[in-house]
Amino acid sequence: MITQQLLIEFLDRFFQVHQYPEEERGGIYRVNNQPIQRLGLMLEPIPNLDRWVANHRIDSLFIHRPWELDPDLEIGVISYHLPFDERLTLGFNVRLMEALSMFNVRSFGEKAGRSIGMIGEVPPQQFGQFSQQIREIFGRYESAIAQTEMIQKIAIVGAMNEKLVRSAASQGVEVYITGQFRVSAKSAVLETGTNVIEVGHRRCEQWGLRALSGVLKERWAELQIVLI
């Protein structure tokens, strides 16, 4: 029997919430004591959520940003915000590392003692080939700056500024992948000749939600996942 308590015990370990301040750890947002067979995953509450829950026979919800949830909706909710962003979007993301066939991976950047990204190698390839792979993984991306034709070392970082771009370039990085391009880092990008792919913040979250679905189904074969 899968319970809300079992789910959060597993996700606390997966997201390594011990690294975060108490108020940032996430976990139970709305208590549910019933067994969970069908779990709904979403980034934030949708219009007519009560109807969606009933139509899909949802027992409980995972909501990344639950703050606008209808207080009258009677359903259990778990929520992880910052740990989800750092572990399943563009931070030190093992699932994304595997999807990109990265190797020789190490952490990159730091925030409050936690890594905000990773640097690693991929099989040598043209930048156009690599950017197509990013498009296939995320569905699309917002923009790309191409300055080097052949690439092998990449950085995936949940932030972008001049210091981070220059640090990555000094370590041999040819492609800097981030959620949102920051104009303040443009001069560093041009001066170092670094390729950049801007995936888009929400698109990264949507990929993370799909990845979370896979993580949960790997842990519980009988758990049915319904994605928005």
> Is the model's pTM score more than 0.85?
yes
Q: What is the pLDDT of residue 228?
A: 85
- In tens, the pLDDT along 53-98 reads 999 999 999 999 999 999 999 999 999 999 999 999 999 999 999 9
Same domain, 124 and 193: yes
Angstrom CA distances, 50 to 7, 72, 96, stand at 22, 9, 33
What is the C-alpha to C-alpha distance for residues 82 and 7, in angstroms, rounded to an integer? 18
Contact (CB, 8 A) for 222 and 199 = no
Same domain, 56 and 38: yes
Same domain, 118 and 57: no
In this structure, what are the phi and psi dihedrals at residue 36, rounded to the nearest 5 degrees? -115, 115
- Looking at the structure of the chain, the number of domains it has is 2
Among all chains, which residue has been given the structure tokens 């949960």?
216
> Nearest Cα to 130, choosing from 112, 113, 154, 106?
154
What is the C-alpha to C-alpha distance for residues 82 and 149, in angstroms, rounded to an integer? 35
> Looking at the DSSP assignment, which residues form a beta bridge with residue 60?
39, 76
Q: What is the pLDDT of residue 200?
A: 97
Same domain, 122 and 103: yes
Report the 10 Å Cβ neighbour count for 217.
14
The CATH number covering residue 63 comes to: 3.40.1390.30
Beta strand 117-126 pairing with 150-157: antiparallel
For 57, residues 6+ apart whose C-beta sits below 8 A from its C-beta are 38
Contact (CB, 8 A) for 156 and 96 = yes
Flag residues of the chain having pLDDT under 50: none
Same domain, 213 and 194: no
Q: Report the mean per-residue pLDDT for the chain.
A: 96
Full residue range of the structural domain in which residue 115 is found: 91-198
Among all chains, which residue has been given the structure tokens 């709904």?
40
Same domain, 193 and 211: no
For 26, residues 6+ apart whose C-beta sits below 8 A from its C-beta are 11, 15, 17, 78, 79, 80, 81, 82, 83, 84
What is the C-alpha to C-alpha distance for residues 228 and 217, in angstroms, rounded to an integer? 16
Q: What is the pLDDT of residue 109?
A: 95
